[in-house]
Structure 1
């Protein structure tokens, strides 16, 4: 616990973001804070001045990242695999999942393109069925009971994978993962271990926002890129898996982890000795200076407190919702209830295409986003690098856009 709230302006000064704009689209891709920039540069210098010698530190530096990731997630480091992105992490999980013809993947209509396509690929290659369900009719009016009921009624006898997204980037709805996982646990209670449903979560818009320990969410896989809300180096990500989760998948890319390579080098089978997360960590040569600097990103958040960061983001998003309620005609998609919302507010301006709203606000010096879905929306993502004044400036700019459109 942290006794004093951070100086948010001082925290903002750790970043090189231009002051010419209000930055409310950092949920897509973050800037690096000073400690992360310095760590990247330190590792880059080491690799540039003596790459072969510095490369010999790779196991020590890799382990340091896993230790810090474990401290942040409240998890054992050996349950974590490092990747380059959410998409790569989902590929590790879905690509490696053991599925048989006749078994079923259950996902929702609210998933991102990256997940829906990976699941389509997996269904085609495995012979498994892929079915989708709708978790809520109106995101603004969604309830925990409605979402949990949709999952309960959606699970079938042949369901083996339940694919979910923690925070829906098209609506801003945050799923009640613990309640959903309790429903799945009840569903699994009388099923053999190799027929139980495994819950896989795209958690990219929860990591760095929510105050949690991963085991409390009840999922079997927690997959996220680290270059959004966590302020991690671009091109970094992770997969955490439960024991049941890792037992359900096989590696899809050769691992270069020392715990896998060394048994192989000695003529033994790595899969009899190495933790499955190490086996499933994709090999090859990543951008090492970025991967190793991920340790500083976890420390940056932990030093300020996950609970403190979560409370600040919730405060700014609540203020954003309250200000948007003042604008006639704006339809907010994101629920107001804190248990079903997180770090973004998605909205529609009737009569205006989201791309046009984004462009007009950019001319006013405010950067907001557009959701990458067929039913697109304007997305405002207030984070700890923002202030109440930033939100006010953004909403005032949106009010002018609406006023100009109505003339």
Structure 2
């Protein structure tokens, strides 16, 4: 359905690019395609369409949030040592511009043995008097651990001291875990939609409620909010609080991809978020159990499905991660290395896989380790 939606919009734009884009972007709500996309996403996330900002990637979403925060020179952003380059750099560049500070802490020594209570304890101990923002990654692409974001958010709300905002990179959890994002407790949820959602390439979102959108300052001119354009024509500042549409980057995008995002969320909703998550969990449990039987394999992903999702990170004794990936590819098994200073081999059973394919991957790793 996603491919068909992309092709449908592409054919329409090729036939008449002006009318299709003019009507789809700038006419009444009944014909506004981005609004229809926001509504479909909101239904899946559990929020409202006006809470959804359309972006092109997780990276873009994180940058919009961090650079939009009104950070002061005496304030601090607290991230973890486990976050992705895009998260760290978004926070670093934003704090550099504001004169604020960035600090990183470790939430665990070994992801495979981490617990919900130990993760929360470390995070709370790491928060200082100047901390105003906490940046976390829901599912770590380094180790495959899935942070208990709902429990973390509750602990942050319950703690004494100045309140902190919770920014979450959620790309490897969206579409892989059965969670209602709008009630998870994070203040800003950033994710691309081309991974586990199987959405079009170059698409993403940021979710926040109205109060948290109002805190931010836009970075890029938008094409989504009529008030911004009307204020420009009248040479005045846009009225009203900041909002998701005001934060959505304007410009001429690959609209056939952005507009087809609705098809991905509709597809997942029709399959059932709980059924999708259960399928992914079953395949990953099978993979972890199979790899755990190999004495030459060290798993870095927690065995519990409550602290993992769709990524399984591992090492093979005596074989470099890049060589593991290369040798698996020779056996027609697609794996990857994690893009971090300390890297592991990774497998990611998803909706497109079968138990038989997972078993074949386990056997292939066994052959690599022999």
TM range (shorter): over 0.9
2:63 is aligned with 1:96: no
**Could you tell which deviates more after superposition, 241-250 or 310-319?**
241-250
2:84 is aligned with 1:108: no
Name 2:299's counterpart in structure 1: 332
SS of the residue aligned with 1:223? strand
Q: 1:53 aligns with which of 3, 19, 41?
A: 19
Name 1:27's counterpart in structure 2: none
CA distance in 1, matches of 2:70, 2:232: 27
2:313 is aligned with 1:346: yes
Name 1:370's counterpart in structure 2: 337
* RMSD of Structure 2 on Structure 1 (CA): 1.4
Contact 1:260-1:278 within 8 A present in 2 as well: no
Tell me: CA distance 1:274–1:267, structure 2 relative to 1, closer, same or farther (3 Å): farther
2:188 is aligned with 1:229: no
Unaligned runs of 5+ in 2: 26-31
2:258 is aligned with 1:313: no
Contact 2:216-2:242 within 8 A present in 1 as well: no
Name 2:167's counterpart in structure 1: 200
CA distance in 2, matches of 1:322, 1:270: 59
Tell me: CA distance 1:274–1:197, structure 2 relative to 1, closer, same or farther (3 Å): closer
CA distance in 2, matches of 1:295, 1:269: 34
* Pairing 1:271-310 to 2, within 5 Å after superposition: 271-273=238-240, 276-310=243-277
CA distance in 2, matches of 1:97, 1:68: 27
* Pairing 1:8-407 to 2, within 5 Å after superposition: 35-59=1-25, 60-187=32-159, 191=162, 196-264=163-231, 267=234, 271-273=238-240, 276-403=243-370
Once the 2 structures are TM-superposed, how far is the Cα of residue 350 of structure 1 from its aligned partner?
2.0
CA shift digits 1:66-107 (9 cap, x unpaired): 000000100111011001000000011011111010100000
Aligned residues: 364
Name 2:28's counterpart in structure 1: none
Contact 1:102-1:158 within 8 A present in 2 as well: yes
SS of the residue aligned with 2:368? helix
TM-score by length of 1: 0.87
Contact 2:321-2:344 within 8 A present in 1 as well: yes
CA distance in 2, matches of 1:176, 1:318: 18
